[in-house]
Every structure is written in structure tokens, then in C-alpha cells.
Amino acid sequence: YYQCQPGSNPPAPTTPVPTTTAIPTTPPPVSTTPPGPEPTPGACPAVPGSITLRANAKLPDPFTNIAGQRITTKAGWQCRRQEIFELIQRYESGVLPPKPSGLTATYSGGRLSITASEAGKSITFTATISANTGSGPLPALIGIGGASIPRPAGVAAIAFDNNDIAEQTNTGSRGRGKFYTLYGSGHSASALTAWAWGVGRVIDALEITTGHNIDTKKLAVTGCSRNGKGALTVGAFEPRIALTIPQESGSGGAGCWRISDAMKKAGIDTQTASQIITENVWFSKNFEPYVNRIPDLPFDHHLLSALIAPRALLIIEQGAIDWLGHRSNLGCQRTAKKVWDALGVPDNMGVSMSPGHDHCSFPSSQNADVNAFFDKFFKGLNSNTNFVKYDNEHGYVESQWVDWTTPTLT
């Protein structure tokens, strides 16, 4: 498989690829009322400390909780969301710590400096802000390790140095980076979780400083490949992110572990859970006992994406690199979209899969899809954001993966 090194992007595909076609998803429900507010603490049943895992070869039903109850209301979804978040932390990503007890920040000349402290330990890290002049406050695009999607005019850039917070060189990076200086090298959080924590602190810092000209209600996050896995996790774990745009995140991001395993079994060289833990520290040590028994997991990545609902999510993928898991990405995210449908906000989730190109080199054929999301969510303009666009089916057959129906939550 290919490595993510400068100059070693996979070659462009030689076989001709079909033209991208827009396939309409289920017709949008009439109401676009967003779901109700977050439940008050204690209003949701606690997730039992020990649960019985039941093997499920299909993508687990978003609308049935682990107690076996079917979700019928938007308030019920908020509790189910909390449950899924807890399960993902427990079995895959490790624990996301809350805001630390000490947090101070300064902003000057494009540099946001943050000091976080807890239990007598303290770290300082920075985020770099640019394109933040002009009449504001402005929306901003946070780039996990930088951004490689086009940033529309009037949108500022925030560069988040994720490797400084949690390293990702190889499996030897476990417990390394400033997050682990603060919380200890044995903390369960994966690198992706540590980055989500770090972005949370960047937002805390924006909230308590002035002069940066950023509207903290209009924050988007992106990143490509490994950093796309990060962007998806940041959006899923941090509710102050309004728009999440992971780019070519592949297996471990937009892909579902179950579908990636099936692809591999069918002879396609796709990254799987059992491989990914041998490459890097994107997932918690807690995940390791499950990588060879994926059907036992009470979630898959359609439910990681679903943590973002009803907030906006645009999945950017491509169809020509087997390793990324095209079938898995398409099937997984098309399934995730059903949660936005159920909540009555189908416009808030889109999937854009282009034909092949160099990894992380954004093709102009997807410009309009990115612009549509910024237009609708940050510029108050009308645009179509309710789409699943893809080059071809990549062998995805929904009946093999989905054995539940999508309710209209009331």
C-alpha cells in the first residue's frame, strides 16, 4: 500500500472513469425544523459500565439503542447520540477530556497562543490565523495540519498543528505530544481524540480573546487523509464546529470497518482495522482487542458521522484508490445520511466522490460542492447541499448492510 509521503502519491488511474452523476437520495421531508435542544444532564439513561456485545455483520441501526429500544423522537436521538459518543470513546477512540480547569489565551498578529493546565501540569500551544481582515466577524476554516480544499473568499484560515498536540509518525508515537504532557502518556485518548481536544481549546481561546475577527458560530474544519480522519473526529466530538469537511479520510474516517473488511476479503487491497493499528496511533489502545472481531462493535463509522447531525457535514472522497476503501466510504456515508433524513434536515449532509486523481489534490470538479456548503451555512445563500454524488457504485449493495428502516423523528 502507499505511504503518505511527499512525492509518493498514488498514480492517477489509467482506466477511464465514468462522469460524476448526482443521484438523488430520499426526497427531503417537508419539515426542516432542526431537532430540539440537547437534553439536560441526567435526562438520558447512563450507558451501563459493562454491556453485552452482540455480533452484527450489518451496519448497526442508528435508531435502536443498546437497550434495544427504538428511537422515535428528536429528543430520543439526542440521548442515542450521547450513547454512541460514549461507545465510540470506550471501544475505539479513548476518552475525550473536558475543558481543563485552567485555560488562558492571547491573540496577536495572527497568533493565537493557548495555555491549558490541569492538576499542576501545563502546556502552551499556538494556532495560526490568516485571511482574517475585512469586515467581520468572519467565518473560518480550521485546517487539521493545514487545509487542501479551496477556501472561499471571505472565510479566514486557522492552521491547527495537530502533530504538536499528538504525534502520528508510527506506532511509536503512542502517548507523545503536548496532550500527553498534560494528561499523561498512558491516557486512553487516540491521536484523533487528542486533536479534537486541542481544537476545542482553540475555540475556547477564540471565545475569550479579541482582535482575531473570527465568528465562533461559523467554524468549519477540514483535513486530508490521516488528517481527514482527524477532521471527522473533530467535527463529531466538538459541537461548536458548524461545518465538517473531511477530505479523502478513507478507512478509519469516512469508511465503515465492516465494509472495509468485506472489501479486503473480496481481494481488494483496502485498509482495515487490523492493519491500521499496526501503522499508527490514530485509534486508542482500547480498540486493539476488537480489530479482529469488528462485528462485535456496537457501532461503525456511519455512527461516528451521525454524531455531527444535525450540524453540517460534507464528505469529500474519491473513487480510484482501493486503499481508501471507495465502496466502504460510499456505503458508510450514504447510510450516515439517513440520520439527517430522520431528523428532517437532509440538506445538512452531503457526499461528494470524484473519479480518481492524486491523493489529497482537490479536483476542481468538486469546487461547487464545497462552495454550496459554505454558501448555505456561512453566507446565508441558497444552494443545494442535499446530494450524494459519486463516480460509480463500487460494488456497494445496500441490502447487504442495512437491515433497518429510517424513521421520521418527531
| φ/ψ of residue 100, rounded to 5 | -65, 160
- Rounded Cα distance between 381 and 269, Å, is 42
Q: How far is the CB of 191 from ligand MCU (least distance, A)?
A: 12
Question: To the nearest whole angstrom, how small is the minimum distance from the Cβ of residue 29 to ligand MCU?
Answer: 34
Nearer to ligand MCU, 198 or 252 (CB): 252
157 binds ligand MCU (CB under 6 A): no
Q: Are 277 and 291 in contact, with CB atoms under 8 Å apart?
A: yes
Per CB under 6 A, does 131 bind ligand MCU?
A: no
The single-letter code of the amino acid at 20 is T
Q: Any catalytic annotation for residue 187? A: no
C-beta of residue 358 within 8 angstroms of C-beta of residue 9: yes
* Per-position b or e across 296-313, b if 16+ CB within 10 A of its CB: ebbbbbbbbbbbbbbbbb
Residue window 312-351: x/- pattern of binding to ligand MCU, with contact defined by CB under 6 A:
------------x---------------------------
Peptide bond between residue 137 and the one before it cis (omega within 30 degrees of 0): yes
Please tell me the count of residues contacting ligand MCU according to CB under 6 A.
11
Contact present, 37 and 374 (Cβ < 8 Å)? no
CB of 228 to ligand MCU, least distance (A): 7
Q: Which of 61, 215, 279, 358 binds ligand MCU (CB under 6 A)?
A: 279
> Is residue 3 part of the contact set for ligand MCU (CB under 6 A)?
yes
C-alpha cell at 205: 481561546
Q: What CA–CA distance (Å, rounded) separates 315 from 335?
A: 12
Which of 226, 222, 161, 235 shows the shortest CA–CA distance to 366?
Answer: 222
Q: Does 271 bind ligand MCU (CB under 6 A)?
A: yes
| Closest CB 334 distance from ligand MCU, rounded Å | 19
The DSSP call for residue 70 is B
Does residue 226 interact with ligand MCU by CB under 6 A?
yes
Q: Of all residues in this chain, which one has the CB nearest to ligand MCU in the complex?
A: 4
Active-site choice (148, 225, 249, 328): 225
Provide the strand spans (E) within 97-137.
Answer: 102-108, 111-118, 121-130
Contacts of 69 (CB under 8 A, 6+ apart): none
Regarding 143 and contact with ligand MCU (CB under 6 A), the answer is no
250 binds ligand MCU (CB under 6 A): yes
Is 225 marked active-site? Answer: yes
CB closer to ligand MCU out of 4 and 402: 4
Nearest-approach distance from CB 4 to ligand MCU, in angstroms: 3
Q: CB nearer to ligand MCU: give 4 or 17.
A: 4
Which of these, 184, 193, 35, 201, lies nearest to 114 by C-alpha position?
201
Cβ at position 102, least distance to ligand MCU in Å: 33
CA angle, residues 344, 85, 314, in degrees to nearest 5: 50
Q: Which are the catalytic amino acids?
A: 225, 359
The residue ranges that bind ligand MCU (CB under 6 A) are 3-4, 225-226, 250, 252, 271, 279, 324, 359-360
